[in-house]
Amino acid sequence: MTLKNPYFHQSFINNRASFSLREHKKYNWHSNDNGCFMNQWKLPFLNTHQRKKKACIVGCDTKCIKTMMVSSHGNTKTHKVKVIVAVKKCSGGGILSNFLSECVDGIKQLIGNILVLELVSVDLDQKTNLEKKTIKGHAQGVEKKERGVQYECTFELPSDFGNVGAVLVQHEHHKEMFLRSIVLHDVPYGPVHFTCNSWVQPKHDCPVKRVFFSDKSYLPSQTPCGLRRLREVELMLLRGNGEGERKSYERIYDYDVYNDLGDPDFSIDLKRPILGCSEHPYPRRCRTGREHSIADPLSERKCLNIFVPRDEAFAEIKQLQFTTTTISLGLSAILASLDTIFIDQNLGFASFQDIDMLYKEGYHLPHPEPKWLTLLQKVIPSFIKVATDNKKTLHFDTPEAVKRDRFFWFSDEEFARETLSGVNPYSIQLVKEWPLRSKLDPEIYGPPESAITREIIESQIIGYRTVEEAIVEKKLFMLDYHDLFLPYVSKVREIKGTTLYGSRTLFFLTKQGTLKPLAIELTRPIMDGKPQWKQVFTPASHSTDLWLWRLAKAHVLAHDSGYHELVNHWLRTHCALEPFIIATNRQLSTMHPVYKLLHPHMRYTMEINSLAREVLICANGIIEISFSTNKYSMEISSVAYDQLWRFDLQALPNDLIHRGMALEDPNAPQGLMLTIEDYPFANDGLLIWDAIKQWVTEYINHYYSNSSVVKSDQELQAWWTEIQKVGHGDKYKEPWWPSLETPKDLIDIITTIAWIASGHHAAVNFAQYTYGGYFPNRPTIARIKMPTEDPSKEEWENFLKNPEQTLLECLPSQIQATLVMVILNLLSNHSPDEEYIGQYMEPSWAENQTIKTSFERFNKRLKEIEGIIDSRNGNYNLKNRCGAGLVPYELMKPFSGPGITGKGVPYSASI
């Protein structure tokens, strides 16, 4: 049901946009010496007679609390309690160019300013059965060099006040401040910790108070009576009212469709379809409430600095590495500058030697464009080194794979190996049926039968006489980008400078445990009055067939790169996670143990997603400019969500089984037998999955002893319902959604979410520059069709005379390659403040000895996994991860330092 015009205790109102000064006046307030209190809480479903009663909030026993009133402490004895508040050194998120001076000024400005605190008891007044009067105090700041500013305050706490369960905060500084923590000392029940890590707005901007609960976890039914109403009010404020444009300082979590990817007001050609409807199903994003476009009233207007709830934004140390300025301003300016540098945006590289020079001698910028160099130096210094010879030269770091073997990308073995241990290990699948057939309408797209015949395959599968025999023995594998891409081939080909096919690539599992490429099939559907065209290419020794094979590989790699970024990376991690993050903040109190368990897995994801919408996946953004699918990229992502995405299949074991890469085996490690024994991603990923599941199991079982506790948890049930009905509402009626009735159900759900945010994301993200930084290895676009597809005499002769030039013309242009190298380097970097899974204990977990012990086991297991992975990478029998010139598979090693390391599993999809 919807609550309208409720009356709130002012002390409990959070800094939310839904409570602006205008709306604030709608509520009836009266004051005493301890703040503003509401007359009563009015609920729309109460009749007139009921409203005259002392109303209680939904879910709170009337015996527990009647209404918010002040009870006197009388002449009760008091004792002194010291409160220390830690405030981050730099407040307000200053401009990076003035970072240091902002910090100094920030400290000077904070010192001497008053921080108003109110202590809230967990108990009710025993005589009146009402909430106890809060204890108010004023804290003063004292400068501390290392930890920023520390505020201190001494309270006279009545002996019958009970335990302090929450602190209300208001400050009179002229800028927002970031509260790290609050600690109560000298209380009989030990120091009480309140982990805040949140921005608090100044009183003159938001004359309402923030609430912070102690680190102790409570299920809704176990919430102390003195905190129950406060818990519910806080959640209502986080949900907002669904109206108005969000302000940058607000912390409202709400849903909207993807209607902000286009820019039709700038050009109607930049209009893009709305994602998140029956025609284009999609997960929901965070609502911003921006004005709608004039040219397309269904779309929101394009803007910089897209709203995310204030506490989801990057911290300063993260901004230094990857800021809103870097993405929303820097790359846009780079695009504009590149337009001036390269008169022809389709200008490719003249030779592979020129490509190598990007890493050896750098790229020499034209003399008339020095401003671009300055921009790059300021905006993205982490991945471009400027020479000291004043020749305006840009140098790109040599990717690790090239350092180890400069010819690695030419190898068929490496092409196959990267399907198991590269940046996209989620696409390879077992061939289960023969012959291969398309499921698309043959009237529209042509004959469904694959052109890959048994003769082509059987001549290459040594030791097996028939295709059927190889299938039974699970020896044939495939990359299948046929049915997803084929419907877009004719649309993409209307765009200059790109092309597309539907494709299938078959591999054979050799006795050595490695994959051998067998065949590539490229298909063009019926279009422009021409019949369907399809051709199969195989590894060959003859020069013409060999070069055709290399060109076919370039097309497949472009398909794989597109599917990797649009589906396995963006859709399945970043995009699919956002509704879970929104629902968690809207439905689970910060006191809820499940909120505390999930919280590390939500860090920075909404911020990085908003940046992606600004410059990566938007109209005329990096993806559209640099990938084969161009302006249809996000539409294809929507098709993949509609046809392929299932929550239950995001669990790693289920995903492997679904792709035929594993079979259930209770006697095998992790309960699975891998179809390919040496499958580095699966081998290591299952170790991480099992560690996460064990940790989640111990955590959940501590709080949920039986199914009745799960079923009766109103916050938890509302959370799971909202995720299905709203966050992933276009798939709400799907039968595969797990039920949430037992502790096991909850364990499976939480483990899956945690895996998506950590292990899955790490596997598809942090090797992007390693393998894609040398773009011939993973081109994002194929710009020309195959020479054998309806060639003119001139086209065919040019191919025969100079096949290398044909391949260069197929690979990305200079603009496309440079942009992709920049982005992949940026995305592959670990931030200095990265939080790795299981590395450090959350303060709330340390509050409970059982949870603390479980986490310590989790941490110990992750350290053991690091050793196991190192051992595997030294085993020369595992040829998919160990060998001369090979990059060892370290993506599932839990911990890492900053930079491009090719290892480390952060808690969240934070980059």
Residues acting as catalytic residues: 569, 574, 761, 765, 911
Closest CA to 786 of 631, 633, 558: 558
Q: How long is the chain?
A: 911
472 class by beta-carbon count within 10 Å (0-12 exposed, 13-18 middle, 19+ buried): exposed
Q: From CA 662, how far away is CA 654, in angstroms rounded?
A: 9
**Cβ neighbours for 402, distance < 8 A, ≥ 6 positions apart:** 359, 408, 773, 774
How many helices (H) and strands (E) the chain has is answered by 34, 22
DSSP category for residue 275? B
Give the H or E element holding residue 672. Answer: strand 672-674
Question: What string of DSSP letters covers 487-540?
Answer: GGHHHHTTSTT----EEEEEEEE-TTS-EEEEEEEEEE-SBTTBPPEEEEE---
Q: From CA 635, how far away is CA 559, in angstroms rounded?
A: 15
310-324 residues labelled b (16+ CB within 10 A) or e (exposed): bbbbbbbebbbbbbb
| Secondary structure E strands in 122-161 | 135-143, 149-158
SS3 663: strand
- Cβ–Cβ < 8 Å for 718, 1: no
Distances (CA, A) of 138 to 85, 741, 850, 884: 11, 47, 36, 66
Question: What string of DSSP letters covers 830-899?
Answer: BPTT--BTTTS--HHHHTSHHHHHHHHHHHHHHHHHHHHHHHHHT-TT-TTT-STTPPP--TT-S---SB
Q: From CA 636, how far away is CA 640, in angstroms rounded?
A: 6
- Walk across the sheet containing 363-364 and list its strands: 363-364, 393-396, 384-386
Give the H or E element holding residue 229. Answer: helix 225-239
Cis omega before residue 803 (within 30°)? no
DSSP category for residue 568? I
